[in-house]
Structure 1
């Protein structure tokens, strides 16, 4: 029944999409925004441990005292951090280098074989990005949705790097446990999606024939669950385009790991790492209760509940998110300095 209710909630949002669009036509605070500006930043390729090429962009001095790595979520790409990239660059200047990358199967990065589409592998990809873009010095990680799960998997699988390099963490709209009975995974319990999963494994020709049907189910759900408030139509179009660019095969390949992953082993590793956990209370992809549960496992973390925000909180309330990241980085560096002085 919980899966049915989750699907009903998302279906209701899809139903009001036309009404929301009418409101958006009257107010668009980001009209004319160039959401492709990040594509002008320094680019490079990172090769993961299994050979997949990951597209990376960098902002700031290569020898900056600290590196912040931003990890996007499911069906997004690195441009999802558009507002944070520009706001935080203006605040941090030469003191922080920012690294953004597209997760495997997303954006401009390569796609690995289906068995590699796991949260564990994404954690290893993050390790590769850190090793190749910031081989020395303190690192601060920011993860949204699947990107937050990636950060947790990194912590569980690369404990020495956490101990020696990670100074702080920002986790947004994410969870340490799978989503098999709530949120997005529950809403996609559908015979067409199940058949598409089987086709991906067994019949490439069938995949091509079913691609359109699967997208007609998946895309409206992902779009409708993005926001809890009426964002401007430019932001809405921007996030919709990211969803539309994501391969249906990638979407379906990652659904299983989103349903079943368990990164709870990361929590003891991160207990002493300054962390902010932030989520919208209107998020029905990963409900706020998941953030509350995550905070219970990290009792010293700051928990931020963003009223009326949906899943794409960094686009819906960008200044609030930038403030939280900035505040946590300052706290993290202060804690690292105290630890260094103590010996």
Structure 2
């Protein structure tokens, strides 16, 4: 459905406020704070971020070390498998994991897919949705033996498409244990078909991505300096209008992402589709969540998933952008509770 003139004006004003806030936060003091937030990103002590982990480790998936984290009862009836988004990491699910911590019937299992978080860095050519789904499957096979209950899959953005890929390609015995899914700010069609990603497919943008893909690691210091200025603006554009602490947290994850991952996953997202997941998806219960101000995966993307899914309930979070998991964490946690109950 086309946006009304009033809605279009509201969105443009909204974007301008977000960018203005990002620029206000780019002084020397704020950049020093941003660097500190980045340095503490994976210490598993500093909030926001994952803390008080019950277990953590790595799984070797065909020579790539995949980091995983657990919180909760190892013998829980249900394990929620969290899959993070593009240029993020498991740290982004901190609010939802904390929400589930007190439930004895639920365990949280989080995966840093290749090229993100504490998992191995890989060449851009290895940063694909298929490979990332294999990473998640490798962790599931390692951490969730066959007699260890049901699985609920939760994916945000890139993680949502990885979740669809996992559902489509998982071995039958694993798929039969998947009882529900929560797909957040994601797509079943190519990301470049709708939203701001389509604009990034220009010749200039493609040349830029090609160029940064060839930058050697020795120039990462220069990259970090530039990114400290650019990343807050990007975070403000795709996130809604979170408090500065959340903006810096999101920016830290962007700064933490290697150039190869940035380029490789972007290339794959613009061409990859998961319509073939429809058959298995129809057998599951779950929800699709979208922010009303999402410019990366707009409403039509979520509506298409629900149309193909049949049993997926659409929920729109008013005033939220693409980073809804940080902007409205309570509503995401509530949705996870509902999917667990339905499953």
The alignment's TM-score, normalised by the length of structure 1, stands at 0.81
2:158 maps to what in 1?
146
Q: Distance in 1 between matches of 2:227 and 2:194?
A: 21
Aligned match for 2:259, one of 239, 248, 255? 248
Post-superposition offset of 1:117: 1.0
Aligned match for 2:198, one of 179, 183, 186? 186
1:296/1:76 CA distance change after superposition, 3 Å: same
1:42 maps to what in 2?
55
For residues 121-146 of structure 1, what are the alpha-carbon distances to aligned partners after superposition, in whole Å with 9 as ceiling and x for unaligned?
Answer: 11111111111111223111110111
**1:1-343 paired onto structure 2 within 5 Å:** 13=15, 16-19=18-21, 34-38=47-51, 40-48=53-61, 50-90=62-102, 92=103, 94-136=104-146, 137-158=149-170, 160-161=172-173, 163-189=175-201, 193-199=205-211, 204=216, 211=223, 215=227, 219=231, 222-228=234-240, 230-332=241-343
Post-superposition offset of 1:275: 1.3
8 Å CA contact 1:13–1:225 kept in 2: the answer is yes
8 Å CA contact 2:54–2:72 kept in 1: the answer is no
8 Å CA contact 2:181–2:285 kept in 1: the answer is yes
Q: Distance in 2 between matches of 1:208 and 1:157?
A: 36
Post-superposition offset of 1:225: 2.5
1:44/1:206 CA distance change after superposition, 3 Å: closer
8 Å CA contact 1:149–1:174 kept in 2: the answer is yes
How many residues align structurally? Answer: 312
Q: Distance in 1 between matches of 2:67 and 2:110?
A: 9
- Unaligned 5+ segments in structure 1 are 1-8, 24-32, 333-343
Post-superposition offset of 1:66: 1.9
8 Å CA contact 2:60–2:66 kept in 1: the answer is yes
Post-superposition offset of 1:264: 0.7
Post-superposition offset of 1:114: 2.6
Alignment RMSD (CA, Å): 3.0
SS in 2 for 1:104: coil
Post-superposition offset of 1:320: 0.7
Q: Distance in 2 between matches of 1:294 and 1:165?
A: 22
8 Å CA contact 1:196–1:210 kept in 2: the answer is no
Q: Distance in 1 between matches of 2:176 and 2:289?
A: 25
1:208/1:320 CA distance change after superposition, 3 Å: closer
1:37/1:293 CA distance change after superposition, 3 Å: closer
Post-superposition offset of 1:161: 4.2
- Unaligned 5+ segments in structure 2 are 1-10, 26-45
